Chain A
Amino acid sequence: MPSTAAPIVSLRGVGKLFGTGTRALDGLDLDVREGEFLSLLGPSGCGKSTALRIIAGLSEPSRGSVSWRDGADARRGIGFVFQEPTLMPWTTVFGNVFLPLKLAGTDKVAAAPRIMETLARVGLADFAHAYPRELSGGMRMRVSIARALVTAPRVLLMDEPFAALDEITRFKLNDDLVALWRELSMTVVFVTHSVFESVFLSSRIVVMTSRPGRVSSELAIDAPVRDAHFRTSAEYAGYCRVTSEALHQAIRTPAGVAA
């Protein structure tokens, strides 16, 4: 992916002060470039989830600006995956994936092929008529991803989606996510506190400091192939070491001194 592509969305001097007095973000500058897989990595409470919610428009910044390259309407073209699967328990897998299209006024018959195609993409074609409670945690997360993908979003925002899953499931979903990102050539912004996950997935990692949250450093991960082999390679271990050091640096740096 070209790292020089024009940013699809830019945050400039973004600050977020909550009513409780918590300063979640202060002076955050961040560019999301077209087609990249960007991870926001940082300790708990560094405001990375808040930054994601601000990009999504679910939260308004107290200060600073968020600008979309193609105008504010571009915000319509995003998908969001929460830390929890956040499915509607009263409807089937099909019904859950149908939701974004239904809200946009598409009727069920017209939407069906697209829904089935998206379910097949995440490996759930046989589970269209299952209810969420009948599925495992990993499968529920796949449904959540399918729901985000069904509108063919240009930007996919993911808020620690795999944090609550076991390691085997997480590895599998990481593999599948990388494949989906390449196949669909979307832009992904991925929030995580896992060094290993961020290195495996990302084309670029932004490390954040906490209280207040702002950018501490950024790293490009240039490995072209992301597979089981990459996960055990010396190259991967090397990237993990560098990223880990950057994260420690971010944690050690007193708030307000970070460059």
Chain B
Amino acid sequence: MNERTLGILAPAAVLALGVMLWDLIVRINGIPPYILPSPGLVLTTLVADWPILWSSLLATLETTIEGLALAVVGGIGLAVLFNQSRLIEHSLYPYAVILQVTPVVAIAPLLLIYLPQQAAVLACAWIVAFFPVLANTTLGLNSVDHNLADLFRLYGASRWQVLAELKLPAALPQMLAGIKIAGGLSLIGAVVAEIAAGSAGAGSGLAYRIAESGYRLNIPRMFAALLLLSLAGIVIFALLSWITHLALRRWHESAITREA
């Protein structure tokens, strides 16, 4: 069996075993659905509640993607700015760190006071997602081969040429690694903010559905919403991994499979 099929079959087998075990435990012990629903019931609920869950999924995904997009633009932009000016770097970097180390759960209620709900949720997603992009891109921009930098100087490259032709391409692997982390974090930020926001309405996301179902003891729907959230996280991660692979496969060591 080759590495690729093993990588698909092994986790699939673990999943099947887990679901079977879950189903067995529910059946044998006769556990009522408001304590632990069976996997079958979760799936039935997912189908039955699809219209509600789908619109909630779209709301959460929209926040996540917008948060990620802002994190990518903001993180790379700030990293480039830091790289160009030591003064700006020294002035702002500590605050970027503070924003990152302060738990977003604690910031969310405050943001909800000052910002409209949608903007506050987006701000939370951005706050948790932008730092890995900033930190990784900064590292990448600063790890440029010294001899290559000398070569650019020798040929009289302008500041802009050094940035566009040398620093940004050299930083690409680290930048993409940061974006991959930011994708998952943006989803977490969106979920945290939705739970903190907690108000009903048509535009409510999946996290709100989970909290609401919890209050109503609608545990099957809670599971169904949770399932969708993890699936969304997996899809985001897979998509970003694929983009990374496409961008680096021709040249970067991480994208090269070696034969033993």
Contacts and interface: CB of A to CB of B under 8 A. Distances in A.
Interface stretch (A8-16, A95-103, A108-116, A196-204): A95-103
Interface in A63-97: 76, 78, 80, 82, 84, 86, 88-91
Contact of B169 (A84, A90, A131): A90
B225 to A, nearest CB: 42
Contact of B165 (A76, A103, A104): A103
Interface of A: 56-58, 76, 78, 80, 82, 84, 86, 88-91, 99-100, 102-104, 131-133, 151
Interface in B96-130: none
B250 interface: yes
B6 to A, nearest CB: 27
A90 B172 contact: yes
A103 B155 contact: yes
B153 interface: yes
The 4 closest A-B pairs by CB, nearest first: A86-B147, A103-B155, A90-B169, A82-B147
A58 B148 contact: no
Given A86-B147, A86-B148, A90-B169, A133 B256 contact: yes
B151 interface: yes
16 contacts: A56-B154, A58-B153, A78-B154, A80-B154, A82-B150, A89-B252, A91-B169, A99-B151, A99-B155, A99-B165, A100-B155, A103-B156, A103-B157, A131-B250, A131-B251, A151-B155
B154 A58 contact: yes
Interface of B: 145, 147-148, 150-157, 161, 165-166, 169-170, 172, 250-253, 256
B151 A86 contact: yes
A103 B152 CA distance: 8
A80 to B, nearest CB: 6
B176 to A, nearest CB: 12
Given A82-B147, A102-B165, A89 B251 contact: yes
Contact of B147 (A84, A89, A131): A84
A186 to B, nearest CB: 16
A16 to B, nearest CB: 16
Nearest to B153: A58
B150 A88 contact: no
Given A90-B169, A90-B172, A133-B251, A104 B155 contact: yes
* Chain A interface helix/strand/loop/mixed: loop
A86 B156 contact: no
A90 B170 CA distance: 8
A104 B155 CA distance: 7
Contacts of A88: 148, 166, 169-170
A76 B156 contact: yes
Contacts of A132: 251
B145 A86 contact: yes
Contacts of A104: 155-156
A57 B155 CA distance: 11
Contacts of B154: 56-58, 78, 80
B34 to A, nearest CB: 56
Contacts of A100: 155
A131 B169 CA distance: 15
- Among B154, B161, B165, B172, max chain A CB count under 10 A is at B154
Nearest to A58: B150
Contacts of A102: 165
Contacts of A89: 251-252
Contacts of A99: 151, 155, 165
Contacts of A91: 169, 251
- Among B145, B147, B151, max chain A CB count under 10 A is at B151
Contacts of B152: 103
A103 B153 CA distance: 10
- Among B152, B172, B250, max chain A CB count under 10 A is at B250
A220 B146 CA distance: 35
Nearest to B148: A86
Nearest to B173: A90
A84 B151 CA distance: 12
A31 to B, nearest CB: 22
Contacts of B252: 89-90
A89 B156 CA distance: 21
A54 B161 CA distance: 24
Given A82-B147, A103-B161, A133-B256, A90 B251 contact: yes
Contacts of B250: 90, 131
A246 B170 CA distance: 44
A220 to B, nearest CB: 30
A250 B72 CA distance: 57
Contacts of A80: 150-151, 154
